[in-house]
């Protein structure tokens, strides 16, 4: 049976030693009273909930899946999911990072991110139910009318209601400009002012229907009758599963069933415990969110939150797969070490002594710990963007969040796919057997590279929109952070093994970016040809920066221990060993990536379509 232990020590290392989040958050008026003790207490309780309540449901939920009743269209989540969600609501977890005005606890997103990492390690399918709700909350908080906020935000904050986003249609996935769902102004007598009747079909809607909460708040993209073609003609609507008004909601009640229902569940490779639904709208009543024809701008609040969330899902899976692979490698006996027996009292050595097994384990560990640093840093920048009193600081933080979001989504999910697969490989044939739990981590990880914008879309977004569109301004700002770190520690002899490759990669990224910019000006296909490789190179630049910083913190801690005569903390020894592994074994991937990015579009576009 698989196991999970919340990585509290490493979370605390990233929060308090690497990023020093407490003083950074105290500089924000909304979090001026926050302290280390509060953060650690929340993490400890969140870890207990993830490990003791949610994780035991992961395998059973995968095996049972969700049930759809063809006659009533009702969807039932796997056994135990509803009770766990009720416990989650009772504990106040949905309200953690929500605004106190709507009943929230007002804690920073940075803390919420850590809780969600642990929940995703424990049970990604279950965590998607409350995870999507917070995205709906953020979207309505940013673009909803006063009436919409008053009606929906308190219920989303408490967790009494959950939320979804309904974008994809059978004929259009990423290209939302093709969507056909229609919204017509409502002429019904007695209908709320500004209501619309919405008709269409949406597919691949995560947590689209279930029995965990009393109501579901769907955010739906649709076209008004006078909408222009393409993405400029898309509007956003809030469509509840059950109709209600602010009076009824305040009293805890809901009204009649709305014209939106589940037309079936997808039969998927993974995340079986989450209801991925086909949602049908038949004259469903909804209200406009934001301005007409500007629905994508409003929805991007939720989509960007979801992209960060998907990166967090993969981070969680990488961590739990690593933990289980290490435990297995310590116990499994197979052959003798090439340098001689390491366990002479046993018939064979544990496989953790073999170099290739260690390579697989260290790969997963490096991806998990590097991803944790990146994810928490990005969320800290998000808190700064939302709450810093200085507009210039907010703007700088927003640029960094925009730059890093596609990297969080794509780089972390690509890494999780390779890491979970490597961890399954550690088990040999047992990894392919369901009872060990490893093959589920692999199956669950695969979807994260696809939904909320495929990783190719993230790559095009990074290179086309976030880098070339502003002549590299956002990238240069981040590059200045890297350069400042290099300058600060470039003369430290103990840091040379980390500083030198970081500086070298930074220089190569600058040159590659300039070269691709010139090529794209002559032929736009060059962006598409290089984008995936380019994002991965940038992902390594970010990881190399954080791994170098983590190495510096670990070296400083070891030096302090030595000066005081205290015993060395093995945590820092392991951190340095993992950093050295990353720079020696994983970072060199950038050489081939840069070469393939420079090879251009010609090898891809030369073959005539008829010859495929």
Longest dimension (CA), the chain: 85
Residue extents of the structural domains in the chain: 300-462, 467-611
SS3 484: helix
Q: Does 190 score more than 80 pLDDT?
A: no
What's the gap between Cα 589 and its chain centre? 23
Is the alpha carbon torsion for 63, 68, 69, 70 positive or negative? negative
Q: What are phi and psi of 197, to 5 degrees?
A: -100, 125
Tell me the Cα Rg of the chain.
25
Give the pLDDT score at 533.
98
What are the phi and psi torsion angles at 608 (to 5°)?
Answer: -65, 140
Residue 335 to residues 4, 348, 352, 354, 472, Cα–Cα distance (Å): 28, 5, 11, 9, 52
53-87 pLDDT tens trace: 999 999 999 999 999 999 999 999 999 999 999 99
Give percent of the chain above pLDDT 70: 99
Nearest to 255 by CA among 210, 200, 190: 190
pLDDT at 51 over 80: yes
pTM beyond cutoff 0.85:
yes
| Look-up of token digits 């014209």 | 259
Helix ranges (DSSP H) in 218-294: 246-250
pLDDT value of residue 584: 98
* pLDDT(187) > 80: no
CB 115 within 8 A of CB 42: yes
Residue 303 has pLDDT above 90, yes or no: no
Which of the four pLDDT bands, split at 50, 70 and 90, describes residue 249? low
pLDDT tens per residue, range 550-571: 999 999 999 999 999 889 899 9
**255 has pLDDT over 90:** no
What average pLDDT is seen over the chain?
95
pLDDT of 231 reads 85
Higher pLDDT, 189 or 57: 57
Model pLDDT, residue 568: 87
Q: How far is CA 593 from CA 179, 460, 498, 581, 589, in A?
A: 35, 16, 20, 19, 6
The pair of structure tokens assigned to 37 is: 């003790």
Q: Which pLDDT belongs to residue 247?
A: 59
Q: Are 396 and 404 in contact, with CB atoms under 8 Å apart? A: no
Other CB atoms closer than 10 Å to residue 495's CB: what's the count? 19
Give the model confidence (pLDDT) of 124-183 as tens digits: 999 999 999 988 999 999 999 999 999 999 999 999 999 999 999 998 877 777 899 999
pLDDT value for 250:
61
**CA gap 138, 376 in Å, rounded:** 19
Alpha carbon distance 90, 261 (integer Å):
28
CA distance 254 to 594: 56
Residues 6+ apart with CB under 8 A from 72: none
**196 - beta bridge partners?**
185, 286
Phi-psi region of 437 (alpha: psi -120 to 50; beta: other; left: phi over 0): left
CA 349, CA 355: separation in Å to the nearest integer?
13
Binning the chain into helix, strand and coil, the percentages to the nearest 5 are 65, 10, 25
Task: Give CA–CA dist 328/530, Å, rounded.
Answer: 39
Q: Specify the CATH number of the domain 300-462.
A: 1.20.140.10
pLDDT at 109 over 90: yes
Work out the pLDDT band at 89, boundaries 50, 70, 90. very high
Q: Give yes or no for a contact between 347 and 332, defined as CB atoms under 8 angstroms apart.
A: no
**End-to-end CA, the chain:** 45
d(Cα 112, Cα 198) in Å, to the nearest integer? 34
Number of neighbouring beta carbons within 10 Å of residue 11: 24
Q: SS3 for 248?
A: helix
Question: How is residue 216 annotated by DSSP?
Answer: E
- Which residue carries 């920073």 as its tokens? 108
Nearest to 533 by CA among 422, 417, 413, 411: 411
Q: Is 89 exposed, middle or buried (0-12, 13-18, 19+ CB in 10 A)?
A: middle
Q: Please tell me the predicted confidence (pLDDT) of residue 251.
A: 59
Residue 246: the pLDDT is 63
| Closest to 576 in 3D by CA, of 560, 556, 555, 561 | 555
CA distance 390 to 364: 39
Q: Which residues contact 339 (CB under 8 A, 6 or more apart)?
A: none
368-422 confidence digits (pLDDT tens): 999 999 999 999 999 999 999 999 999 999 999 999 999 999 999 999 999 999 9
Q: Which residues are catalytic?
A: 452
CA distance 290 to 591: 46
Q: Which residues contact 134 (CB under 8 A, 6 or more apart)?
A: 94, 97, 98, 112, 156, 163, 305
DSSP-based three-state secondary structure for 569: coil
Residues in the chain: 612
Find where tokens 């961890």 sit: 423
Token pair of 165, please? 């986003």
């Amino acid at each position: 049976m698989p196991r999970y232990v919340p990585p509290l020590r490493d979370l605390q290392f990233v929060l308090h030693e690497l990023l020093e989040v407490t003083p950074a958050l105290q500089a924000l008026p909304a979090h001026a009273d926050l302290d280390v003790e509060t953060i650690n207490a929340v993490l400890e309780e969140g870890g207990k909930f993830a490990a003791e309540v949610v994780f035991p449901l992961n395998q059973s939920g995968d095996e049972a899946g969700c049930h759809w009743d063809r006659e009533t269209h009702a969807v039932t989540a796997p056994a135990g999911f509803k009770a766990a969600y009720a416990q989650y609501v009772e504990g106040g977890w949905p309200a953690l990072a929500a605004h106190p005005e709507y009943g929230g606890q007002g804690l920073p997103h940075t803390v919420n991110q850590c809780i969600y990492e642990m929940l995703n390690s424990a049970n990604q399918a279950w965590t998607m139910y409350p995870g999507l709700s917070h995205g709906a909350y953020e979207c309505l908080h940013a673009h909803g009318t006063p009436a919409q906020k008053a009606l929906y935000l308190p219920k989303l904050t408490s967790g009494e209601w959950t939320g979804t986003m309904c974008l994809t249609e059978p004929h259009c996935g990423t290209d939302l400009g093709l969507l056909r769902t229609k919204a017509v102004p409502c002429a019904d007598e007695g209908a709320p002012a500004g209501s619309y009747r919405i008709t269409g079909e949406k597919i691949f809607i995560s947590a689209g229907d279930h029995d965990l909460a009393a109501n579901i708040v769907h955010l739906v993209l649709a076209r008004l009758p006078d909408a222009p073609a393409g993405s400029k003609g898309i509007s956003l609507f809030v469509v509840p599963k059950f109709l209600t008004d602010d009076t009824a909601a305040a009293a805890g009640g809901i009204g009649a069933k709305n014209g939106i229902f589940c037309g079936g569940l997808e039969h998927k490779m993974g995340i079986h415990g989450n209801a991925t639904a086909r949602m049908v709208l038949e004259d469903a009543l909804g209200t406009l969110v934001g301005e007409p024809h500007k629905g994508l701008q409003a929805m991007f609040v939720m989509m960007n939150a979801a992209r960060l969330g998907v990166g967090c899902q993969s981070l969680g899976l990488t961590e739990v797969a690593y933990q289980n692979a290490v435990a297995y490698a310590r116990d499994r006996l197979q052959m003798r070490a090439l340098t001689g027996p390491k366990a002479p009292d046993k018939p064979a050595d544990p496989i953790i002594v073999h170099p290739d097994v260690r390579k697989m384990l260290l790969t997963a560990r490096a991806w998990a710990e590097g991803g944790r640093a990146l994810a928490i840093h990005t969320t800290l920048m998000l808190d700064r963007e939302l709450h810093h009193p200085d507009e210039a600081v907010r703007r700088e933080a927003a640029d960094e969040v925009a730059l890093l979001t596609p990297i969080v989504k794509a780089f972390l999910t690509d890494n999780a796919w390779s890491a979970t697969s490597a961890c399954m490989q550690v088990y040999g044939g047992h990894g392919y057997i369901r009872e060990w739990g490893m093959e589920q981590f692999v199956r669950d990880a695969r979807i994260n590279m696809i939904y909320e914008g495929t990783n190719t879309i993230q790559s095009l977004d990074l290179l086309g929109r976030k880098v070339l569109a502003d002549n590299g301004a956002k990238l240069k700002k981040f590059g200045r952070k890297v350069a400042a770190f290099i300058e600060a520690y470039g003369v430290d002899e103990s840091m040379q093994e980390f500083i030198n490759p970081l500086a070298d990669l930074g220089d190569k990224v600058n040159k590659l970016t300039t070269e691709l910019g010139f090529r794209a000006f002559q032929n736009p296909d060059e962006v598409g040809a290089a984008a995936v490789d380019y994002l991965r190179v940038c992902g390594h630049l970010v990881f190399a920066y954080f791994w170098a910083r983590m190495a510096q913190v670990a070296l400083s801690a070891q030096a302090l221990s030595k000066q005081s005569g205290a015993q060395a903390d093995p945590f820092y020894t392991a951190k340095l060993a993992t950093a050295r592994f990353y720079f020696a074994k994983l970072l060199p991937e950038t050489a081939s990536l840069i070469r393939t990015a420079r090879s251009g579009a010609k090898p891809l576009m030369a073959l005539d379509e008829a010859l495929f």
